[in-house]
Amino acid sequence: MPPDFRMSSRPVLVLVAGGTISMTGKEAASPDLEAEALLDMIPSNVVVNDLKAETIINVPSAHLSLDDQLHICRKARDAARRGIGVVVTHGTDTLEETAMLCDILHDAETPIVFTGAIRPASSPGADGPANLVDAISIAASEAASGMGVLVCFGGEIHHARGARKTDTTSLVAFSSPQTGPLGRVTEGHPTIWSKIPRNPSLDPPDLDRRVLVVPTCAGDDGSLSRAALDIDPDGVVIGTLGAGHVPPPILELWAEAAQRIPVVVYSRPERGVILNATYGYRASERDLRETLVIPAGFLSPQAARMKLLACLGSGLNVSEVRWAFGMDDG
């Protein structure tokens, strides 16, 4: 008989937001399981003194709107403010974006943990139950207090600001290319071996802004960039090659735009950052940093977009947006 896994006395709330973990189907999976059905997945030898669950929305995460994501994050944050550990079950396609937004809003010490599944609940070897139990153990743990929002998948613990979905079929679907995992769950017990400093929280009333992500590629003639600017965005997140390099016409275009709107720049390599002064050729990182563009630091383009949306929704001006992103630009 397997041993009991007893978790701390902190109450835990599981907020169900759809995704594969809630899906069943003989041929093609679709959202089906509500909150109580997810709790029924938990083995009987896992003991949590005060565990509740609530369904917020039950859709594939690709169907979530920004309003949906903000609603999920507020529900999680408000519970954490009451000292309740929170687990959010979520589809993996956009989990990293909702988790990033939640970390921006989160202002309490109690942990919020996002998890999900790669295999539907009706599939052989479904990974949802193990991920759910691991996430609950983190949410109930004092060791995770003060860490902000975490992502738990395949036994690994990642911070929301660094987590990315990097595999569509592996049961260890998330990684943190810049920081690596912060810990691991073993036999129902989370071990934390590193932490990331938390950023000041924001509380945007809405995310009703237009923020675009525009990549840069070899031979880019600026057509996509000009098309993006033609629709008058409130802000833009643009990709750079290598350590902050772009074709010269692209630099001129975005340098001019950055005088009017926030232009956040990220490095295309997953483990890349915008350098300061290693290269000196035209339109290298040295020229880029002499403009008003804002480096995204170690944030992914998806995370940078969500952060910029929250900054603009909170009424921050360009100088304040630069300060906010500077915390991730080490």
Active site amino acids: 20
Q: Are residues 142 and 269 in the same domain?
A: no
Q: Check whether 3 has a pLDDT greater than 60.
A: no
Q: For residue range 236-276, list pLDDT tens digits in order.
A: 999 999 999 999 999 999 999 999 999 999 999 999 999 99
Q: For residue range 66-100, list pLDDT tens digits in order.
A: 999 999 999 999 999 999 999 999 999 999 999 99
The CATH number of the domain holding residue 233 is 3.40.50.40
Among 138, 157, 192, the domain-final residue is 192
Among 164, 192, 220, the domain-final residue is 192
Segment among 7-11, 115-119, 199-203, 223-227 with least mean pLDDT: 7-11
Distance CA 312, CA 320 (A): 10
pLDDT of 286: 95
Hey, how many other C-beta atoms are within 10 angstroms of the C-beta on 316?
18
Block residue for tokens 């660094």: 162
Q: Is 203 within a domain? A: no
Distance CA 302, CA 325 (A): 14
Amino acid at 284: S
Domain count, the chain: 2
Q: Are residues 61 and 179 in the same domain?
A: yes
Terminal-to-terminal C-alpha distance of the chain: 50
Give the chain's radius of gyration (CA, Å).
20
Domain span at residue 318 reads 211-326
